[in-house]
Structure 1
């Protein structure tokens, strides 16, 4: 397999299949989540806003596969909100069952407000933070600023819905502010995903991602958008004809879905 035409921004991990695929607005970012865990190897990962758990369990799946010593935590009230919609106890029960069956050795569910859970973590301890709670400008700003002291000197922070500009969604505004002057990268597909480098000791693959020239950055976005679309089933007809089994079809079709990156 070519190393993404000499860059390594897309790897074998990017083509893995999530074991758990519920309905999710985050679905198309699963391939990047796998790559990120592979290259960041976080000591502690925290997700703020988990809902059905698709994104959270993508990270956990990769931690388990690679045998990393990562400690994972999902923080949510599991009640819903005006943006995700409100829901019953069945959602938490589903997430709890999956966690207990597969990831309980290193993953914990913290049923709390985001502010109420922050004291569970030491300052400077979190290498990867995913912010995906309420999406008003003041909400996402409060979430990030509340948790910022907990971030390590090699931390990466993800912000979902950076491309949503409808209603009272304000993530895009906060992202435009915080991305200025900081190492950052943004995916435009699947409602947008902002990737922010906070620490000064970021791993080389993350530094390279943040420093990618425009042509390379666009190719990275195109590659992950195509992988995300395939995962969502919107282009699955291109791989269903392959002779491989479903668990191998992304790798078998690597050449079909890879957008060649400039050398």
Structure 2
């Protein structure tokens, strides 16, 4: 039994290494494609049509997650082209769905996401949080996908701003403040730098901009090998918090919600 468990764990590690290697190769191809304007324009036009068809069919949060795909459902209904081929959200479906329900119930007007990766969770906020006036994303590298991300809010009155750069740098913080135009953040989602120093810096920088009754979401609050659990344990002693756990913990870590002004 122990030998079988060891083989299973080894197999999972090997699969993850293969996935990471494939991701690095695909990102290199994406950058080369993005540098060739005619090909990029064709890929974007076809991807946008595909996304428009999915948007027209969506009625529920489940429909939106069907579009993006999730950690255990990598092949979402949306199938883009070239650098726009995937919107996969790297969360457990049950976790991101419950988080989206809770945030929507708060009727937020301003949302900031740190770390957008494939754009999956950003798409969820754009499609599910109907009352959002300002939606801001920051990411180190959008990999030539900005045009598609900007299209997420095409069917709403939401102003979507994508800010490329390190969330810890002063220039990025200034750009976020400019986009907020003096308004507080109603929902802050932290899924960028997962080191203890990095996620702590993000919380210390953008946490004070959150409204007194606002929410802060964290991804991977129980993921070993990252610094997020350490920060989360500290925050649980200072704020009212809760976790949202999926049924299978072999994938990405639990989602955490911090209630800045307490739960109401």
Instruction: Work out whether the TM-score is over 0.5.
Output: yes
Residues 138-177 of structure 1: pairs in structure 2 closer than 5 A: 138-166=197-225, 169-177=226-234
| 2:113 partner SS | strand
> 1:156 Cα deviation (Å)?
0.5
- Greater RCO structure (CA 8 Å; 6+ sep): 1
TM-score (norm 1): 0.59
Given the alignment of the two structures, is residue 188 of structure 1 paired with residue 241 of structure 2, yes or no?
no
The answer as to whether partners of 2:146 and 2:162 remain within 8 angstroms in 1 is no
- Distance, in Å, in 2 between the alignment partners of 1:23 and 1:14 is 15
TM-score of the superposition, structure 2-length normalised?
0.59
Tell me, yes or no, if structure 1 residue 108 matches structure 2 residue 165.
Answer: no
Shift of 1:102: 4.1
Task: Could you tell me which runs of 5 or more consecutive residues in structure 2 were left unpaired when the two chains were aligned.
Answer: 1-58, 70-86, 247-251
Q: Partners in 1 of 2:155 and 2:162 — Cα distance?
A: 13
The alignment partner of 2:238 has SS state of coil
Which of 95, 103, 106 aligns to 2:149? It is 95
Q: What's the offset of the Cα at 1:100?
A: 5.9
1:69 Cα deviation from its structure 2 partner:
4.5
- Count the aligned residue pairs: 176
Aligned to 2:82: none
Partner of 1:135: 194
**CA gap 1:78/1:188 in 2 versus in 1, 3 angstroms:** same
Q: Check whether the contact 2:116–2:137 (CA below 8 A) recurs between aligned residues.
A: yes
Residue 153 of structure 1 deviates from its aligned partner by 1.0
**Do the aligned partners of 1:128 and 1:155 also contact (CA within 8 Å) in 2?**
yes
Greater share of helix = 2
